[in-house]
Amino acid sequence: MHLMTRGSLPMLRYSSLSEGITRGRQRLIAITRQDFGFDLKAWHDHLALTKSYNYRSMQRPGTYPQSILDALDDPEWVAAAELAERSQLLAKLVADDDRERNAITTAERRWAGRERPCPKCSHTFRSAGDRGQCPSCNNVFFASHPDGDHNWWQNGG
């Protein structure tokens, strides 16, 4: 719920509030196998009622933590939720996640056991998968994106 009400966490930052709260929703859907959209009160009631999913709110269903009330009163949060809903952001993020997962699987199969040069020292070696560590200089890199581009999979992998 923290990610959905705040749009970010100390270790998770997103490009927009819409993406952050949608990622929160995506995580809650994955955990609960339910979808209450951006209805924070419905999410809270479900989590509080089931007393599972490690939800530690002291409030019972029907009474809401201040973080939920603050988010619902925040015009920026409301606008971000409306934008995410209008632009079908959840479906786009799920599709992107699937494409990334497929690209990683393909890269693992493609590079497993193949010889390749280290981009730092040019020493040729063989590794178990896409990620490799040069035995000569200890440089760690991915054969699919040796330049370190984390969005490599978006360009065809």
**What pLDDT does residue 5 have?**
92
**What pLDDT does residue 58 have?**
67
**Which residue stretches of the chain have pLDDT < 50?**
none
**What pLDDT does residue 155 have?**
67
**List of residues 6+ apart from 44 with CB closer than 8 A:** 1, 57, 59, 61, 64, 65, 68
Spans of all domains in the chain: 2-87, 95-155
Mapping DSSP onto H, E and C, the string for 50-78 reads: HCCCCCCCCCCCCCCCHHHHHHHHCHHHH
